[in-house]
Chains A and B, each alone.
Chain A
Amino acid sequence: MNLSHLKQIDPYCWSLPLPAGEDRAPVRLYGSEPLLATMDDKVLEQIANVARLPGLVGAAMTMPDAHWGYGFPIGGVAAFDADQGGIISAGGVGFDISCGIRFLRSNLTLDDIAPELSRLADQLYRDIPAGVGEEGKLKLSPDELDRVMEQGAQWALDRGHGVKDDLPYIEEHGRMAGAVPGSVSPLAKKRQRGEMGTLGSGNHYLEVQVVEKIYDPVAAAAFGLHQGQVVVSIHCGSRGLGHQIGTDYLVSLAKAASRLGIRLPDRELACAPIKSPEGQEYLGAMNAAINVALANRQLLTHLARQAFAHVIDGAELETVYDVSHNTCKLETHPVDGKKRHLYIHRKGATRAFPPGHPAIPERYREAGQPVIIGGSMGTGSYVLAGLAGNPAYASASHGAGRAMSRNQALKHWHGRELIDQLKHQGILIRTRSMRGAAEEAPGAYKDVDLVAEATEKAGLAKRVAFLRPKACVKG
């Protein structure tokens, strides 16, 4: 990104000055100079387009891991007021609705699993359906899928796939209100039939990690984390149902926008006023997809528990937290000293409520909401905690963010060689896609350390712990 276009507000916050005669809201980019310098100029173009949407409150923002997406940039955050003509955008949520991370802590240390790591990786690989075309054991009828869309993770629990203590540690207690299965097309339901309890592909993964470094001992203790502890991250979303909802509404909202008098700077920002019938229909469908994602990660958590218990006697996995990073949710935020009810789009951005927020489980309330920055399979991930005074509607980074396109990555790395290299580094990869492994090469991502540091220094969330990967099932 050409930084000469930007005005630096502080070392971790930048604005895009408004040219004379141009009508848009402010733009804020969070991140350090090195991170912004590596971002594509398209990020700037895309977030400036978001700033032109009606009903935007405050600034359109990007997180430190931002990269070029479709419609919104990945790492984009924007708040809209329904009473001021604010919109909801399918392009502001994305295809993988409620993609997110379920983060689990174990009662094991690295020493406990080291002798069995290969067996554990193999067992997880056998038990977790992952990759192109792989289906789960559950085949759901349309009626049963309607119940998933209404009940979320609770649906999985009621059928024995989880424990009661999972629910308080999932956003929305595992069940998103306002889901309308009737707003979901029959094709979306058909597409999901065999996809419950599957990981998917691309950047999705199940990773066994070890807590390597503690930054904040008090918050770490609240989250039940300690150095040397084995933990698990499951990164996936709403699978085919969410993809089809994204598909259906991207085109229908793109057409509706012009009919409703909205001038779209980019058709990919397909949107409708929140209060319009079209906006409400998408909102109901999107909420249904959020519940499918929450149920899906609950099913995968259950499969991971079974695999661990099969390999290691007495192994237990507890949910630390489940965070989504592709959503639009109604939240209350202070704006100019007043509480406002706003629809917060987070596309590739994690919610990061501050200490004391009522939506945070009581156990974590003093520490702040757990935030997970999922890194690449060869580097590591971070656990952070929400901060008071977050300037981005309680939002933070969600991952390392790509630094190189998938096509470029394929020219740089070969899947098998990469997997062998990682094995020499003590990281076991299990995948059916050598292409996928190459595209997800650690070198294709930004430096996750820089992203986590910038996230903290921008006041978005504070670092709690660093997690080193040990075994990874890739889709």
Chain B
Amino acid sequence: MPPAYDFFDHDADIGIVGRGATLEAAFEAAAEAMFSIMADPATLGREAHVAFAFEEGDGELALVTWLNRLLAEARSNGLMLSAFKLERDGDRWQGEAWGTPWAPHTEGGVEVKGATLTMLSVKETGGQWEARCVVDV
């Protein structure tokens, strides 16, 4: 069984992969991959919570929108996120995430600026969903 999230090579940036039994689970794993670039998830709490909704009919663009909304929510609220929940009703998506306020001067990883459309792919193979794209760091 491959890991829930993983990375792939890109010259300038970093490729992320999320996998799961459902599309939503794959997106959640992709979010875990992205935030693990910025901080060690094991060091983060879950005392802070954000929730948001968006509409997107294109599954691939939905992945990019989901990841970028999480980045925006994290940065604008001074949070580092570590746990994710996504639900879909047609074109409407409801996202939630939990994390911890970012303490200044904490050892971090590398900031992700945004999720890109490069190597963007959302597909289901044999009952397993995989979501991938390159994130700009």
User: Which residues of A line the B interface, CB within 8 A?
Assistant: 40, 42, 67-71, 74, 91, 94-96, 131-135, 187, 190-191, 193-195, 200-202, 240, 243-244, 246-247, 250-251, 254-255, 266-268, 270, 402, 405-408, 432-436, 439, 475
Chain A residues near B86: list those with CB within 8 A.
Answer: none
CA A132 to CA B134, docked complex, whole Å: 19
Interface string of B72-116 (1 = CB under 8 A from A): 100110101000000000000000000000101111111101111
CA A334 to CA B137, docked complex, whole Å: 36
A70 in contact with B65 given A42-B11, A194-B78, A433-B108 (CB within 8 Å): no
A201 in contact with B136 given A407-B7, A432-B106, A434-B107 (CB within 8 Å): no
| A68–B72 CB distance below 8 A | no
Chain B residues near A432: list those with CB within 8 A.
Answer: 105-108
A270 in contact with B117 given A132-B110, A135-B104, A202-B137 (CB within 8 Å): yes
Chain B residues near A187: list those with CB within 8 A.
Answer: 72, 76
| A40–B114 CB distance below 8 A | no
Chain A residues near B107: list those with CB within 8 A.
Answer: 432-434
| B109–A405 CB distance below 8 A | no
A201 in contact with B117 given A247-B72, A251-B61 (CB within 8 Å): no
Chain A residues near B111: list those with CB within 8 A.
Answer: 131-133, 200-202, 475
A70 in contact with B116 given A433-B107, A475-B111 (CB within 8 Å): yes
Partner of A406, one of B65, B80, B137: B137
| A94–B10 CB distance below 8 A | no
| B38–A132 CB distance below 8 A | yes
Partner of A246, one of B39, B109, B113: B113
Task: Using A68-B10, A132-B111, A435-B110 as known contacts, list a sample of 11 further A-B pairs with CB atoms less than 8 Å apart, ordered by residue number in A.
Answer: A70-B13, A131-B111, A193-B76, A201-B110, A201-B137, A243-B114, A251-B65, A267-B117, A407-B14, A435-B109, A436-B109
Chain B contact residues (Cβ within 8 angstroms of A): what range? 35 or more
Partner of A69, one of B12, B14, B68, B109: B12
Chain B residues near A94: list those with CB within 8 A.
Answer: 136
| B108–A132 CB distance below 8 A | yes
Residue of B nearest to A475 (CB): B111
B118 within 8 A of A: yes
Among B78, B104, B117, chain A packs the most CB atoms within 10 A around the CB of B117
Chain A residues near B39: list those with CB within 8 A.
Answer: 132
B4 within 8 A of A: no
Q: Shortest CB–CB separation between residue B84 and chain A, in angstroms?
A: 18
Q: Shortest CB–CB separation between residue A325 and chain B, in angstroms?
A: 13
A191 in contact with B136 given A74-B12, A95-B113, A134-B104 (CB within 8 Å): no
